[in-house]
Chains A and B, each alone.
Chain A
Amino acid sequence: MTYTQLAVAAVALVMVLDLVVVRTRLLRRKVFWTAYAIIAFFQLVTNGILTGLPIVRYDGAAIVGSSTPVDARPPFLGDGRIAYAPFEDLLFGFALVLLTLVLWVWAGRRGVQRTPYAGPPRVRWPGSAAPGDGASYEPG
């Protein structure tokens, strides 16, 4: 199988795991998509270093785009690449992150260290749910 095929299959499998098998349903929660948006941004930065230097090279036979050139940087955008990385890396990363978080939430739901919950922030944080937002939330 090519990297493209494996990456698409991995995303589909983990989505089925989340929505049907263990029913953590993270894909239907804004907490997941907010966290994923942050993670995806930093993936583009860090993976751009890994693939742009390049530390990792790809074979054109395994991806939609071309092979990483021998003595040059791959394109920043285009030829199947986003921020130097094959777009397949975004699928790889999505599957990795979603699988991790499905397992994390599933373990908590099964009673493995469900608590202590995260928060409250020790520092003032923009957009924080403040006391009186529908919850008794004591800072400190």
Chain B
Amino acid sequence: MSHLSYVAVLAFVVAGTAWLEVALRTRVSRRWRRLLLAVVPVVVVFSAWDLYAIAHGHWSFDASRVTGIELPGSLPLDEVLFFVVVPIAAVLTLEAVRAVKRWEVGDEPPGTCSDGVRTDDGPR
């Protein structure tokens, strides 16, 4: 079987969300420093969880369907990529809903939302 099976699933997630950046103007790439602040802790925390689970045999990977590249602790590179790709997809989804609905997210300055909807577009 293909060593790229797991990576192909991740590619599907990337393809399924990247277009939001263009079609809905989610503008996440223009906020990349903020994105790092969200993604890096998730990579650290969930990689630690993964290492614990692998060490205790909670789950294991089909060697014929992952890249075979491993980080210390037998952590497949595929898993680390998962912890990068999925949080970015989550942020893009949240921002896509915001782009369409203008619903209050919680990061707006005071006085720029009314009845849970943003009324000020802020600087572009």
Residues of A bordering B, CB below 8 Å? 2-3, 6, 10, 24-26, 29-32, 34-35, 38-39, 42, 46, 49-50, 53-59, 61-63, 93, 96-97, 99-101, 103-105, 107-109, 112-123, 125, 127-129, 133-138
Contacts and interface: CB of A to CB of B under 8 A. Distances in A.
**B interface SS class:** helix
A100 B39 contact: yes
A39 B96 CA distance: 12
Given A97-B90, A121-B99, A62 B53 contact: yes
A112 B37 contact: yes
* Closest A-B pairs by Cβ, 6 of them: A108-B107, A119-B99, A62-B58, A118-B99, A113-B31, A100-B87
B105 A105 contact: yes
Contacts of A137: 102, 121
16 contacts: A29-B116, A46-B13, A53-B62, A55-B66, A56-B61, A57-B62, A103-B37, A108-B31, A114-B107, A116-B31, A117-B98, A117-B122, A118-B25, A118-B28, A129-B100, A129-B101
Interface string B50-75: 00110011111110011000000000
A120 B45 CA distance: 34
B18 interface: no
A56 B98 contact: no
B38 to A, nearest CB: 4
A42 B13 contact: yes
A69 to B, nearest CB: 13
Contact of B105 (A29, A53, A59): A29
B90 A105 contact: no
A99 B45 contact: yes
Nearest to B122: A115
B59 A56 contact: yes
A107 B91 CA distance: 13
Contacts of B39: 100
B106 A26 contact: yes
Contacts of A107: 34, 37-38
Given A103-B38, A118-B25, A39 B58 contact: no
A96 B59 contact: no
A105 to B, nearest CB: 5
Interface string B21-59: 011111110111111011101100110010011001111
Contact of B58 (A2, A116, A133): A2
